[in-house]
Amino acid sequence: MKKVYVFISFFVLYNITISYAQISSNQNVDALLGNWKIDMSPSDKSDNNYAIMIIDKVSNNSIEGTFYREGVKIREGRVNTINSNIYGALVSGDNSGDYNTSFYLKNGKLYGSTHSLKKDFLAVWVATKEK
C-alpha cells in the first residue's frame, strides 16, 4: 500500500510541476502574434512554395488564428514555454484531412514541421514574421 501512495504522490507532484512549467516562463508568448510567411521548402531557394499562418491570440497556453489556406482555423492550438523556449502545436486541415503542426521560436523565426497522415508527407519549414 505504501508503494501506491508513493506513486500517487509522485504522479500528482509531476503533473503540478509540468503545469507550472508551461505557464511560469518569462518568455513573451506575444512574440508569436502576427502574420507569418512560411517557406514550405526552405532547402530549395529557387521555388516560391509559401503559406501564411496568422496568430491572432495567445492566452492560457492556447493559440488562435488561421493556418495555410485562407479561413482554415487553427484547432487545438497550444503553446508551451518550458526550458526558456517558446513552442507551439496546432491542428489544421483541408478536404484531404487533418494536418498536425509543431514549431518553436528562435531568433525571431519559427522552425516547424507539418505532418499529414492522408497525404503521407512531413513538411519541414521556416517562417518569418511579415512586417
Output the pTM of the full model: 0.77
Domain ranges of the chain: 2-129
CA 71 vs CA 16, 57, 67, 125: distances in Å: 36, 15, 8, 20
Q: Give the whole-angstrom CA distance, residue 126 versus residue 109.
A: 7
**Which of the following CATH numbers is that of domain 2-129: 2.60.40.420, 3.40.50.620, 3.40.50.10420, 2.40.128.120?**
2.40.128.120
**pLDDT tens-digit profile, the chain (131 residues):** 666 454 455 554 455 445 444 544 568 999 999 999 999 888 887 778 889 999 999 998 999 999 876 679 999 999 999 988 999 999 999 888 999 999 999 999 999 999 998 998 999 999 999 98
